Amino acid sequence: MKKQVESILEEIKDLNKNLVFKKKYKTLKIMEVCGTHTMAIAKHGIRQLIPASIDLISGPGCPVCVTPIREIDKIIEIIKKYDATVFTFGDMMRVPGTNSSLLAEKARGKKIKICYSPTDALDFAESNPDKKIIFLAIGFETTIPLTAVIVKRAFEKKLNNFFVYSTHKTLPQALNALLSDSCINIGGFLMPGHVSAITGSSMYEGIPQKYGIACVISGFEPENILLSIHAILRQITGNDFRVEIMYKSVVRPEGNPVAFSLIFDVFEPADSEWRGLGLILGSGLELKKKFEGFDAKKIFPVANPVSCEPPGCRCGDVIKGIIKPFDCKKFGKSCTPENPVGACMVSSEGTCAAYFKYMAGI
């Protein structure tokens, strides 16, 4: 394994040297758009192994991080106004809203529970028919089918006390939004492995041709990430831009048709706000009319709160790949995993959390 990695690194260095010599680029920005890639790259020191002229940057691959502060504020307003119990994943508890967080509200006595699966929320609703249960749904195509399954189950069982607050988002539209921003100069994408296992590669097919950018779906082991970087360099060398699968043990071109179809059985596309990226048309998912009786946003209406990011927080710029966490004045000082100012330091898949855990001493 060690010799194979060394061989891949030598080939990366040779390809990069040739591309720099031919003035294809001075610095090649390769963006990963998966939180697991973010952590793996930092953990295994991959940035330190490859040439300095290849700049690995992190994009909007962390669902917790891209959830806008307005959504945090709105769910807090719901639990203040209505007698309901909110179930959510652990990372969401500590994401700061404008004036509070779910963790702070729980400490004040509000009914908020951590779950490890959407099924936990549904089971609790079934066991407690006198209580109103809201599942705060978050995530990309990897986790959306799980939410779809429990909505279908709730529908079949005619539950009238279970609801979903959807903050689900889909990745392809976000990638197009990034590439349409003139401030961001990306030469290649390390495409997400888990998401692509559901969507397949066809979801990204228009990107390489439209933008002239290399796209490689990667696994998470160091060797696989390096092979994917190597594949990006090969595409640039040959001016052959396409979506290439380097995680063939898990990802197929057609993805997982059963899981993918589940998404659109229950949800329909909607415009959605992303932290750092703003409103992206058709990038969110809301429940279809058939299932609107489970839509927490309709059943528990609240006014749009006046939301604002914490002063000095640069999570949005980190998510867009404009800056590295080290470039934020709060990083490692007033913003740490124990006392996070922004979502990128909260989530286990957040870029700032990855840098703090694995690169703070570099």
Task: Give the C-alpha separation, 152 to 155, whole Å.
Answer: 5
Half-sphere exposure of residue 147: CA atoms within 13 angstroms, side-chain side: 31
Task: Give the C-alpha separation, 247 to 225, whole Å.
Answer: 9
List the structure tokens of 248: 């063939």
∠ Cα 142 144 149 (to 5°): 120
> Other C-beta atoms within 10 Å of 208: how many?
19
Judge whether 216 and 231 are in contact, CB under 8 Å.
yes
Q: Alpha-carbon torsion 295, 145, 30, 312, what sign?
A: positive
Which domains occur in the chain, in start order? 1-313 (3.40.50.11740), 314-359 (no CATH)
Which residues partner with 285 through β-bridges?
Answer: 269
pLDDT at site 228: 98
**What SS3 state is found at 46?**
helix
List the structure tokens of 251: 């990802």
Residue 20 CA from chain centroid, whole number: 32
Task: Give the C-alpha separation, 356 to 249, whole Å.
Answer: 31
pLDDT at site 361: 61
3-class DSSP string for 215-229 = EEECCCCHHHHHHHH
pLDDT at site 318: 96
Which residues partner with 137 through β-bridges?
Answer: 166
Q: Which residues of the chain have pLDDT under 70?
A: 1, 361-362
Phi then psi dihedrals of residue 163, to 5 deg:
-140, 155
pLDDT at site 105: 98
pLDDT at site 72: 97
Provide the 8-state DSSP code for 305. P
Distances (CA, A) of 345 to 48, 260, 306: 22, 30, 23
Phi then psi dihedrals of residue 157, to 5 deg:
-90, 0
The residue among 101, 49, 47 whose CA lies nearest residue 72 is 101
What b/e string do you get for 84-110 counting C-beta neighbours within 10 Å, with b at 16 or more? Answer: bbbbbbebbbbbbbbebbbbbbbeeeb
**CA-based Rg of the chain, rounded to a whole angstrom?**
21
